[in-house]
């Protein structure tokens, strides 16, 4: 089983460029999440979705947008990348709040 798949795995952007990170899950999960992981700060929630067509802001949503047009996909967009967005991004999904989440392998993004 693929589980949660993130693409790309690595990316280098120049300041001001845009990009989209894709998260795909094949477990028919309703809930999906985007986190960023920075040294000493753990995982911080950027945005999340509780079902197809829904999105909500997490702790650090500024500078990011998301879309959940299909249940299996959760897209994270950076419209104008900044060096402060250099981080490792993790996607997670779960069936409902009473179950554990499954994580993707992460995307290492560097903004220069």
Partner 1 sequence: AQSVSQHNHHVILSEAASLELGCNYSYGGTVNLFWYVQYPGQHLQLLLKYFSGDPLVKGIKGFEAEFIKSKFSFNLRKPSVQWSDTAEYFCAVNALNYGQNFVFGPGTRLSVLP
Can you give the binding site for partner 1, defined by CB under 8 A?
31, 33, 35, 40-45, 48, 50, 56, 58-59, 90, 92, 94, 97-98, 100-101, 103-106
What CA–CA distance (Å, rounded) separates 11 from 30? 28
> To the nearest whole angstrom, how small is the minimum distance from the Cβ of residue 71 to partner 1?
15
Query: CB-wise, 33 or 74, nearer to partner 1?
Result: 33
> To the nearest whole angstrom, how small is the minimum distance from the Cβ of residue 15 to partner 1?
27
Query: CB-wise, 41 or 112, nearer to partner 1?
Result: 41
3-class DSSP state of 85: helix
Query: CB-wise, 33 or 75, nearer to partner 1?
Result: 33
3-class DSSP state of 83: helix
Would you call the peptide bond into 8 cis, given omega within 30 degrees of 0 as the criterion?
yes
Closest CA to 58 of 3, 66, 101: 66
């Amino acid at each position: 089983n693929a589980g949660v798949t993130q693409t790309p795995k690595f990316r280098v952007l120049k300041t001001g460029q845009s990009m989209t990170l894709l998260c795909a899950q094949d477990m028919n999960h309703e809930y999906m999440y985007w986190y960023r992981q920075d040294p000493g700060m753990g995982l911080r929630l950027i945005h999340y979705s509780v079902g197809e067509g829904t999105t909500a802001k997490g702790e650090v949503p500024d500078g990011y947008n998301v879309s959940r047009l299909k249940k299996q996909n959760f897209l994270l967009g950076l419209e104008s990348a900044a060096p402060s967005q250099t981080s490792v991004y993790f996607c997670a999904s779960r069936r409902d709040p009473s179950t554990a989440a499954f994580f993707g392998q992460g995307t290492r993004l560097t903004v220069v």
